Structure 1
């Protein structure tokens, strides 16, 4: 199983203050920074709703004394500095694939720039795919825990509404998933200002609390975290399982880099989000030092009673925005996985005429909604849900370290004296968090792992089966030159153009052989068309097409697209000025081959995986719709393949 390797252009790390794909003016940078606050930081921004509370009141309770409060805040602060600021914002975000980030984009970058494709082992590819699989588990838990924890503020602001928390949360989630089809372009314009106001609010509330107990500022010193471990090492280790909730969403900074650029995200984090989060966590700690009874909801207890209900509304809006970002991320990751050959073709709808990245995938949307609502109804409270939260995030972060090691040594050629201490720090921190979260597996941590393994099985089965099928078709393909010599003169030629879609740019497509066998005619112009997805996000229009004249009216055409682009075949054909006359859709027929898999004893995959692949193949989106072919000009011809 390999990522398709196209091109050999080298990629070096960009300067620390530059972004390969985004050259913005000063004003535009700040506008993007505000936009990033709304989209990128929703997940990590809603962590104060539950992270600090769960560290003390969760499955591994801590005493509410100065040692533990100061120790937890110190752990949270230094976790954000090491994991988010140093690892993601400073280092990993430099490893962009032509401006795009995320595990699959990083995997494609490694594949493209490795020089020797065999140099990077199968394990690196599998790790990247598993990180993607874990993301789907995370994308189910994030909306559930964010919305539920926000709505639970009702029980603080208006205890009479406590019984309505669950129904209200479910209604909000149903509405959230129901509006995905309409797109988020209009709503997105409000995300930035709302989240900016949210961060200003939580920073203000935290500040008002900490000025009453200024000694909490000492918690920023690392020795408080060390004293916590020295005094109570077992409880400190177990507390990491909840402390890590303060950095959930850090991977979103890297995944969303293509939308905003490295510099705006860095500005947003350092100047807005990080200070607001630290001030709020210190405010919650100061509150608990003064009033341990506030532990049932320290986030909402920071606000005066008269402002608690408005805070519930604001926090719910922030939770919805955080959920929206995760759902959009699931759509984007799925599109990348389809283009890179890990997921079957699915129906993709564009919700914005001006923004290519705004897409909607019905199957993913409704599957996520069902799973999120089941999570809410099963776990009932955000406290129970946090037991399932964290293991997918820490697993993905650990895998990112492995990919980063390949980048540092293989692509950037860092000296060992710099790379090894840095990687040792990252691996130590992430391994500690992952190990602590493993203790939550019996209480719900099994769920994201289960989802991850199921998705991983689907991704690898499709990738392996697709490669086997292509190899089998290639083995049985007739050389094109022999075919043209023998068939071009013997068959009757009819007016018009025939486009035969083929997955391999060699040999004769099966659909062409079947058409000649049954209809005994050839069109005057025959195009053998292959759509290739390169391991870069975008391919410019001038590099889109390669055409080879095979003689006697036959032409080989290859269309190249990036893994963030949609393949629109008719639009590409309209721009062709070779191959004779211009393409007219009403005079062009598109021939597609639909394969039926037969059980085989050949050493390809285990029989259960062959059956799974066959099921995925049957339910994949038709190539006609995926490539946007005109419905009244398409002919499908079946063939049987053994893998």
Structure 2
């Protein structure tokens, strides 16, 4: 492969054929060895540079500071609004001892320091996938380093994509190799990793349901302090109205109101930190001694089981922490580190310290700590900003839900839904109509059903801690296999941060029957949908792989005199990467005509965030050349936009022309090398060198290759002008005869129900209806 790439680079820089031949002679390459390289390798080898996804670490400080400011409005809305309800959710039965407040404050301080600050800001953010974050980013890193994917769609050429490469340390350890080998050889491990990724995804979607409920309900609940005529029922219905409004405006995109997010959240942080300092100085300055972890030990000694149960309320102080990692793709690691360390972390600490100082003097106000601790002149400004901050926090989680479903869809783990990109300026801002309305119904149902932040908080904690624990598990695999981290550091991470998260997880699970079942119920429903779709998706792929059509069979079909070639370009879509799908045979059996140029297009998702446009298309010929039949693999990352501004047809044709030119160059070089090998053999036998005789023949052969290339490009242009027809395979899937009950339910009922009620291929890829032809076939799986 490296030799071929080297040759092509030489031809692109204008080196003569004699010099090329000398290079081949020096390396003693045979024609047979060169012909082992497929034209697909040549296509991937001629890609120019590593443009696509630039490293964000080289940005100027002015840009980093600007991104840090913008990230405040997008990333920290959820964790920033936690002071609205943390103390109320922790002391559900009131405050029994004055020092319990110090114990809880100490727990909040160390939890905020260990999890969001140390774990996420300084460790997890390093595990980004070329700038993208979240559960899928970690899964993708593992999939690229170890072959743990369940679909046999890997290609050697995938490693040539610039974003695909991993910068690995040189000191490879035995532990990393052993773990990698076990993962690759264990089918159970592959399924478990995919299952864990689906579970983490489902829990984040559960966050997208619960965050709007608890944030809006907590903020609106503050109106009770202004008037006693507002009942709990009215608060619930006001919250429902705000939630419905919030979901109804999703289709307009977040960038329409995005400019106001950062200033509002900055004002929010300024106000809560300022009020925190005011309360600290006014009520009890001694609460700062809660920095001593001794108060945590004393808190557990006094309250025992009740202290352990109260951890479910304290964990709400770190809700939205996963957004630090999930949203890193929209900003940079450095910008999020700056905004967290300089603004968010100190503001939250001051807010909790101030509320603790207030509670030391007013135990009976614990259920309404936030609003009761606000000075009277600041009440209405804080109420307005609190409602706005709650809406922004909800917006961030809703947008994050859309993004993670987009990632799931690209990896075949979610049914087809329409992805609407709402902003041409900001990539990653998407809107999914079906999911939006389902989220709205779920939020309204949860708000009306639970009515109080205490019950919703019980549900919220489980979703938060589950995602954090899964992230830690994936991170340990990354530390061992990819980073080659010292084993003592890995053990320290597991013992300190891992044990803290497991302690919180055990606490939130205790409240399973008090609302904690809700996120698990959401997760189970989503997991059932994702598993059903992914399982049948894999079964279909294996069916097509087992029944694919050989190139020889395609050649027989194309040269058959019973078939006529009609003008035009036909693009035949499938998901099969290795070969031609069986549905083509079904098509030609019913339509005895082929277009003058036929391209089999395979849409493939790589386990990376983005694939640069110039590295997206890979081509391969179906021999002989006169057939004008090609195979094409179009590669996307899990955050790539599928419907580019530039029409897909035009991009396909332009890239195909480039391939034809490169392939002609490769063929000419191969033939020259073959002649050189023959001459080299003659010289070794003592024969006379015949360079002068062969030089003219070489020149004639090159001219023939160029003429053939021009003719082929002309045929392609004529086909393009005659029109493009998109042939889309619509596969009906049924269980095979004699299948078990479980398999019949999975395929005949579960999968087909989802397929009937969701988008079809043409709607997902925006294929023009006037030039689309659907080809139906039934697969028995």
| TM-score, L = length of structure 2 | 0.77
Cα deviation for residue 22 of structure 1 reads 4.7
Tell me the residue number matched to 2:326: 255
Please point out which of 255, 265, 289 is paired with 1:185. Answer: 255
Cα deviation for residue 132 of structure 1 reads 0.8
Cα deviation for residue 222 of structure 1 reads 1.6
Change (3 A) 1:604 1:264: farther
Cα deviation for residue 118 of structure 1 reads 1.2
CA contact (8 A) 1:43 1:323 kept: yes
SS of 1:390's equivalent? Answer: helix
CA contact (8 A) 2:94 2:364 kept: no
- CA distance, structure 2, for counterparts of residue 619 and residue 196 of structure 1: 43
- CA distance, structure 1, for counterparts of residue 567 and residue 493 of structure 2: 66
Counting only pairs closer than 5 Å after superposition, residues 416-427 of structure 1 correspond to structure 2 as 416-427=487-498
- CA distance, structure 1, for counterparts of residue 722 and residue 516 of structure 2: 56
Residue 573 (str. 1) matches residue 710 (str. 2): no
Please point out which of 726, 729, 744 is paired with 1:607. Answer: 744
Tell me the residue number matched to 2:47: none
Cα deviation for residue 62 of structure 1 reads 4.6
SS of 2:398's equivalent? Answer: helix
Structure 1 spans left out of the alignment, 5+ residues: 1-7, 9-18
- CA distance, structure 1, for counterparts of residue 486 and residue 739 of structure 2: 46
Cα deviation for residue 304 of structure 1 reads 1.9
Counting only pairs closer than 5 Å after superposition, residues 307-386 of structure 1 correspond to structure 2 as 307-386=378-457
CA contact (8 A) 1:287 1:294 kept: no
Residue 485 (str. 1) matches residue 556 (str. 2): yes
Q: Deviations over 1:539-560 (max 9, x none)?
A: 1122111112223110111111
Report the number of matched residues: 623
- CA distance, structure 1, for counterparts of residue 494 and residue 94 of structure 2: 31
SS of 1:387's equivalent? Answer: helix
Tell me the residue number matched to 2:198: 129
Q: Deviations over 1:223-266 (max 9, x none)?
A: 21122123322122111111000011111101111111111111
CA contact (8 A) 2:94 2:363 kept: no
Residue 547 (str. 1) matches residue 634 (str. 2): no
Counting only pairs closer than 5 Å after superposition, residues 354-503 of structure 1 correspond to structure 2 as 354-490=425-561, 491-503=563-575
Tell me the residue number matched to 1:557: 632
Tell me the residue number matched to 2:308: 237
Residue 171 (str. 1) matches residue 241 (str. 2): yes
Change (3 A) 1:387 1:133: same
- CA distance, structure 2, for counterparts of residue 439 and residue 497 of structure 1: 62
Q: Deviations over 1:332-369 (max 9, x none)?
A: 00000000110122111111122221111001100000
CA contact (8 A) 1:62 1:68 kept: no
- CA distance, structure 2, for counterparts of residue 362 and residue 232 of structure 1: 48
Q: Deviations over 1:28-67 (max 9, x none)?
A: 11111111111101111110000112211x2xx2525332
Tell me the residue number matched to 1:161: 230
CA contact (8 A) 1:64 1:288 kept: no
Change (3 A) 1:248 1:66: same
Residue 82 (str. 1) matches residue 114 (str. 2): yes
CA contact (8 A) 2:276 2:350 kept: yes
Q: Deviations over 1:484-507 (max 9, x none)?
A: 134334211111111111111334
Tell me the residue number matched to 2:184: 118
Cα deviation for residue 605 of structure 1 reads 6.2
SS of 1:504's equivalent? Answer: coil
SS of 1:636's equivalent? Answer: strand
CA contact (8 A) 1:141 1:385 kept: yes
Residue 144 (str. 1) matches residue 282 (str. 2): no
Cα deviation for residue 508 of structure 1 reads 3.2
Counting only pairs closer than 5 Å after superposition, residues 210-225 of structure 1 correspond to structure 2 as 210-212=280-282, 213-225=284-296
Cα deviation for residue 331 of structure 1 reads 0.4
Change (3 A) 1:480 1:21: farther
Tell me the residue number matched to 2:135: 103
Residue range with higher mean Cα deviation, 44-53 or 408-417: 408-417
CA contact (8 A) 2:548 2:579 kept: yes
Cα deviation for residue 284 of structure 1 reads 0.8
Tell me the residue number matched to 1:13: none
SS of 2:631's equivalent? Answer: strand
Cα deviation for residue 79 of structure 1 reads 0.3
Please point out which of 727, 743, 747 is paired with 1:591. Answer: 727
- Determine which structure has the larger helix proportion and give its number: 2
Please point out which of 261, 264, 271 is paired with 1:201. Answer: 271
SS of 1:69's equivalent? Answer: helix
Tell me the residue number matched to 1:536: 608
Change (3 A) 1:272 1:571: farther
Cα deviation for residue 206 of structure 1 reads 0.6
Cα deviation for residue 472 of structure 1 reads 1.1
CA contact (8 A) 1:510 1:593 kept: no
Change (3 A) 1:586 1:615: farther
SS of 1:346's equivalent? Answer: coil
Q: Deviations over 1:356-415 (max 9, x none)?
A: 211110011000000000001001122222122100111111111211111111111112
Tell me the residue number matched to 1:14: none
CA contact (8 A) 1:592 1:634 kept: yes
SS of 2:427's equivalent? Answer: coil
Cα deviation for residue 136 of structure 1 reads 1.5
- CA distance, structure 2, for counterparts of residue 170 and residue 128 of structure 1: 32
Change (3 A) 1:604 1:38: farther
Structure 2 spans left out of the alignment, 5+ residues: 1-43, 45-53, 148-180, 661-712
Q: Deviations over 1:184-222 (max 9, x none)?
A: 112011100000000000000010000121101111222
Q: Deviations over 1:257-279 (max 9, x none)?
A: 11111111111111111111111
- CA distance, structure 2, for counterparts of residue 417 and residue 384 of structure 1: 41
Tell me the residue number matched to 2:89: 54
Q: Deviations over 1:301-326 (max 9, x none)?
A: 12222321221111000000000000
Cα deviation for residue 609 of structure 1 reads 1.7
Residue range with higher mean Cα deviation, 357-366 or 606-615: 606-615
Change (3 A) 1:567 1:603: farther
Residue range with higher mean Cα deviation, 331-340 or 517-526: 517-526
Q: Deviations over 1:583-633 (max 9, x none)?
A: 748700010111111222357963222221222233342211222222211
**Where in structure 1 do 4 or more consecutive aligned residues deviate above 4 Å?**
602-605
Please point out which of 515, 520, 524 is paired with 2:592. Answer: 520
- CA distance, structure 2, for counterparts of residue 175 and residue 230 of structure 1: 47
Q: Deviations over 1:441-499 (max 9, x none)?
A: 11110010011111112112211110111111222222122221343342111111111
